[in-house]
Amino acid sequence: MLVSATEMLQKAVEGHYAVGQFNINNLEWTKAVLLTAEENNSPVILGVSEGAGKYMTGFTTVAAMVKAMIESLNITVPVALHLDHGTYEGCYKCIKAGFSSIMFDGSHFAIDENIEKTKELVNVAHNMGMSIEAEVGSIGGEEDGVIGAGEIADPNECKMIADLGVDFLAAGIGNIHGKYPENWQGLDFDALAATKALIGDLPLVLHGGTGIPEDMIKKAISLGVAKINVNTECQLYFQAATRKYIEEGKDLVGKGFDPRKLLLPGFEGIKEIVKEKMELFGSVDKA
């Protein structure tokens, strides 16, 4: 069932768990995440970066594929189709394409411009029944061409953006896209708690979910994080399983070169890590 992410995340805040956003790249990714959500009776958010949208030939293709797949696979759990780190223009494209949720990432603008653009998009998204995420501070590292310095969000700026009526908020707290470096300082829980104190029950989003230790994930959830984004880890599981298949020479046996066989171990790898994350985030049986 394609829905906005508002209700599932409000329920997550009340229930002290988080819903995973898993970024999709193609049919295998989408099918793996949807089936795993259904098997675990978990709500789920499919994240689409602008780069991945382009790769899949555009947001209209993505929306059509996701809607058709939800129907043909009989997916009954709540599914949100969400633009990840959207530009102003990208948000309008996804609104038109039939997404159920958008993220406007205005974190690289001065706060006044971030506020102005977020405010406009909140009104447009809500008129369409869609949910909207905004960002303050920035996520370190790089995600599909979006590069951030990793500034810790100013809690007062978070409050200003929260007051615009966004449905959930990404606040930079030392989190990084991609693998964490050896000398990573960890999440800044003081900043998270300070923001939470000002914004109340508005769901907080933790980007850069790959490689954050379990105890930090649990603490972040206890401090109001209700959505956790995972991208790189699915890619790494897909890569490792595909590499193993080829290194074992399975592609050379019989019809092992058939793409449906060649991509199957990677597909199963994604299912395995998505299930693991749903268990860790506490969203199993919360559909």
Residue 209 makes contact with ligand 13P by CB under 6 A:
yes
What gap in Å lies between CA 274 and CA 37, rounded to an integer? 8
What gap in Å lies between CA 237 and CA 243, rounded to an integer? 10
Binding mask 231-260 for ligand 13P (x = CB under 6 A): xxx---------------------------
Contacts of 200 (CB under 8 A, 6+ apart): none
Residue 23 makes contact with ligand 13P by CB under 6 A:
yes
Residue 207 makes contact with ligand 13P by CB under 6 A:
yes
Footprint (CB under 6 A) of ligand 13P, residues 95-124 = none
What residue type is 106 in one-letter code?
G
What gap in Å lies between CA 63 and CA 287, rounded to an integer? 21
Of 25 and 114, nearer to ligand 13P (C-beta) is 25
- Report, in Å, the least distance between residue 138 CB and ligand 13P: 12
Residue with tokens 């706060």: 111
Residue 178 makes contact with ligand 13P by CB under 6 A:
yes
- Report, in Å, the least distance between residue 178 CB and ligand 13P: 5
Q: How many residues in the shown chain lie near ligand 13P by CB under 6 A?
A: 16
Catalytic annotation, residues: 84
Residue 148 makes contact with ligand 13P by CB under 6 A:
no
Residue 84 makes contact with ligand 13P by CB under 6 A:
yes
- Helices (H), ranges, the chain: 6-15, 27-39, 50-55, 59-72, 88-97, 111-127, 155-162, 189-199, 214-222, 232-247, 259-262, 264-281
User: What residue ranges bind ligand 13P (CB under 6 A)?
Assistant: 23, 47, 84-85, 143, 177-178, 207-210, 229-233
